[in-house]
A and B are shown apart, each in its own frame.
Chain A
Amino acid sequence: ETGVTQTPRHLVMGMTNKKSLKCEQHLGHNAMYWYKQSAKKPLELMFVYNFKEQTENNSVPSRFSPECPNSSHLFLHLHTLQPEDSALYLCASSPEREVGTGELFFGEGSRLTVL
């Protein structure tokens, strides 16, 4: 138990569906992140939120839309995805925007399959 909870753990969707991934952290952290993890590839940082404000968007396609209503919750809205978007999506949090200097606390991920 890392204090970061992601739902759903598994999701299968068609290319025309719209779905959302949810992340909740119970650690009192102010920064939250979305990462994409594909097999045998490095973690890819997608979005960073610090104090509910988006501070980083690493050239992610617009079919991925993040939302951070408060410091404890983070969503990733998905629409018209492609099969190559199939991956494990990890949410993480840290005390503040210190992704390079501090420990990240990860959720267990949402395994997404796009048919």
Chain B
Amino acid sequence: GQNIDQPTEMTATEGAIVQINCTYQTSGFNGLFWYQQHAGEAPTFLSYNVLDGLEEKGRFSSFLSRSKGYSYLLLKELQMKDSASYLCAVTNSNYQLIWGAGTKLIIKP
């Protein structure tokens, strides 16, 4: 089968750094997405990785290791507004998008 594993919930402190991990087992790989979803709102695109390495975009960075089937989303200088669910999704060899169940991130003052 194909699956994406990510922690169900994480808690971090405002101003700190948090890393949300995602591991995947899929039939082939054609890219990995991260989306952010605030409660009651639409998921919104954060990042896309297709090659190994780190992609930085402001306070958010996303890392990919294809050989390890692993990615992480790094959030720096955490703000209260970063409290949300973070969804990891992988495109397989058939260009199907396989989704993880999401990580709920709670930011405390």
From B33, B42, B102, contact of A90 by CB (8 A)? B42
From the candidates A42, A99, A101, A108, name the one contacting B42 in the complex (CB within 8 A).
Answer: A108
**What is the number of contacts between chain A and chain B, taking CB atoms within 8 Å?**
52
- A42-B100, A106-B42 given as contacts; is B87 within 8 A of A101 (CB)? no
Shortest CB–CB separation between residue A32 and chain B, in angstroms? 14
Partner of A108, one of B40, B45, B92: B40
Question: Given the complex of chains A and B, what is the CA–CA distance between A24 and B98 in angstroms?
Answer: 25
Contact B100 A108 (CB under 8 A): no
> Residue on B with the closest CB to A104?
B45
Interface size counted on chain B using CB atoms at 8 A: 26
A45 an interface residue at 8 Å Cβ cutoff?
A: yes
How far, in Å, is B66 (CB) from chain A's closest CB? 16
The reply to whether A106 and B91 form a contact with Cβ atoms under 8 Å apart is no
Chain A: interface residue count, which band? 10 to 19
Shortest distance between the CB of B70 and any CB in chain A (Å): 18
Report chain B residues within 8 Å CB of A101: 30-31, 91, 95
Residues of A within 8 A of B97 (CB): 45, 99-100, 104
CB proximity to B under 8 Å, residues A25-56: 40-43, 45
Residues of A91-113 at the interface with B, using a CB-CB cut-off of 8 Å, are: 98-101, 103-109
Contact B42 A100 (CB under 8 A): no
Q: How far is the CA of A98 from the CA of B95 in the complex (A)?
A: 8
Contact A100 B87, CB 8 Å, known A2-B44, A41-B101: no
Residues 39 to 67 of chain B near chain A (Cβ within 8 Å):
40-45, 48
Q: Across chains A and B, which 9 residue pairs bring their CB atoms closest together, nearest first?
A: A100-B95, A100-B91, A42-B99, A106-B42, A43-B99, A103-B45, A108-B42, A106-B43, A42-B101
* 28 A–B contacts, CB within 8 A, in A order: A2-B42, A2-B44, A40-B101, A40-B102, A42-B102, A43-B87, A43-B89, A43-B99, A45-B97, A90-B43, A99-B96, A99-B97, A100-B30, A100-B31, A100-B94, A100-B95, A100-B96, A100-B97, A101-B30, A103-B33, A103-B45, A104-B35, A104-B43, A104-B45, A105-B45, A106-B43, A107-B42, A108-B41
